[in-house]
Amino acid sequence: MVQLQLQTTPSQATATNQWAWLPSLRLALVIWRRNWHVFLKNAFTDVTGLVMEPIITLGAIGFGLGQFVGQMQDGQSYVEYVAPGIAAGYAMFNALFDSAFGFYMRMSSQRVVAHMLETPVEVQDLALGEMLWSGTRGMIACTIILTFAAALGLVASPWAVLVTPAGFLVGLAFAGIGISASAAARSMNSVTLVFTLLATPMYFFSGVFFPITSLPGFAQPLVWALPLTPGTYLIRGLMRGDVGWEHLAAALWLAVFSTVFFFLTRWLLRRRLIK
């Protein structure tokens, strides 16, 4: 048969690959842009879906239920209290919808992801690109609700401009959860579990609708560990304008959570996609 000679020396090969695990921001942004393009194409349906539900919630819960609640402990009206929570909650739902259902589709039946992995894209670029995109979805949702709340006079401080990046952080954290769930799921049905087991309970117990001090003592550290509680805390502080170091800590916690999930996501995607 053929005489085979190799010109590559091992040292050359290792030298080029020391940083091989690092994602390429350029490729991640190509993926981000692809999703942005699809989002714009369906913008009307997407944005309508994005806006209607939180606004209905804000109207029904904030103004409707709020009349029976009276004032919150620190003198806020209930609707002022609940608006930032809804902003954080819908950052979560939007990021999760895209990273769980949307990404699952792109990865399974649509083979969009399979094609990416035939190009110079590596799994870590995919993880980063999809996380940045879902983070963006969270940011868009959060910003729309912020604008609406501002129009209703529910925003008290210029700090509120930081709600947009805060929404991105919340989205990023949930993107990590959503993509991990997709990568581990065996079917679309199991992806649904992220909503029933995680997102919905979090939405009700993370300080969106009532202070978590009302929860039993053992549950409080638990809800702080999950990203919606720090997210809600952060966005509420920014909308009210009483911002302290604890809010920075909450933002950092979201960043750390997202970073850890980036690596988990990369590992799970590698396990699923590289066979």
Partner 1 sequence: MQPIVIARNVVKRYNELTAVNGVTFAVNQGECFGLLGPNGAGKTTTIRMVCAISPPTSGELFVDGKDVVRSGRQVRAILGVVPQGDDLDPDVSVYTNLLIHARFYGLPEPEARRRVEETLEKVRLADRRKSEVDALSGGMKRRLAIGRALLTRPALLAIDEPTLGLDPHNRHLIWDWFREVKRQGTTLLLTTNNMDEASALCDRLIIIDHGRILAEGTPQELVGTHAGTQVLEIRVTADRREMYRARFAQRGLESYEAGSALIVPMTDGTALSQELEHDGVSALRRPATLEDVFLRLTGRDINEDMR
Taken in order 155, 159, 165, 169, the sign of the CA dihedral is negative
User: Is 33 among the residues that bind partner 1 (CB under 8 A)?
Assistant: yes
Where helices occur in the chain by DSSP H, the ranges are 10-15, 25-41, 43-57, 66-69, 78-97, 103-107, 112-116, 123-151, 163-184, 188-193, 200-205, 219-225, 228-240, 245-273
Query: Whose Cβ is closer to partner 1: residue 53's or residue 270's?
Result: 270
User: Is 15 among the residues that bind partner 1 (CB under 8 A)?
Assistant: no
Tokens 């996380």, residue located: 131
User: Is 74 among the residues that bind partner 1 (CB under 8 A)?
Assistant: no
CB of residue 20 vs partner 1: minimum separation in angstroms? 7
Q: Give the span between the Cα atoms of 233 and 207, in whole angstroms.
A: 8
CB of residue 117 vs partner 1: minimum separation in angstroms? 6
User: Is 150 among the residues that bind partner 1 (CB under 8 A)?
Assistant: no
Opening angle at CA 160, ends 159 and 162, nearest 5 = 80
Q: Give the span between the Cα atoms of 217 and 194, in whole angstroms.
A: 25
User: Quick one: which of 91, 116, 181, 250 contacts partner 1 (CB under 8 A)?
Assistant: 116
Q: Give the span between the Cα atoms of 220 and 212, in whole angstroms.
A: 7
Q: Give the span between the Cα atoms of 136 and 171, in whole angstroms.
A: 7
For residue 22 the two structure tokens come to 């690092």
Query: Whose Cβ is closer to partner 1: residue 36's or residue 63's?
Result: 36
User: Is 186 among the residues that bind partner 1 (CB under 8 A)?
Assistant: no
Query: Whose Cβ is closer to partner 1: residue 73's or residue 109's?
Result: 109
Q: Which stretch binds partner 1 (CB under 8 A): 104-112, 139-147, 168-176, 177-185?
A: 104-112
User: Is 132 among the residues that bind partner 1 (CB under 8 A)?
Assistant: no
User: Is 271 among the residues that bind partner 1 (CB under 8 A)?
Assistant: no
List the end-to-end C-alpha distance of the chain, in Å, as a whole number: 29
Q: How many residues in total does the chain contain? A: 275
Q: Which stretch binds partner 1 (CB under 8 A): 10-18, 49-57, 130-138, 149-157?
A: 10-18
User: Quick one: which of 1, 11, 74, 216 contacts partner 1 (CB under 8 A)?
Assistant: 1
Query: How many residues of this chain interact with partner 1, rule: CB under 8 A?
Result: 34
CB of residue 19 vs partner 1: minimum separation in angstroms? 11
User: Is 227:95 a contact under the CB 8 Å cutoff?
Assistant: no
CB of residue 64 vs partner 1: minimum separation in angstroms? 38
For residue 107 the two structure tokens come to 């990865």
What residues are paired with 77 via a beta bridge? 71
Query: Whose Cβ is closer to partner 1: residue 21's or residue 204's?
Result: 21
User: Quick one: which of 28, 55, 58, 121 contacts partner 1 (CB under 8 A)?
Assistant: 121
Q: Give the span between the Cα atoms of 144 and 70, in whole angstroms.
A: 26
Binding site for partner 1 (CB under 8 A): 1-2, 4-8, 13-14, 16-17, 20, 26-27, 30, 33-34, 37-38, 41, 110-112, 114-122, 274-275
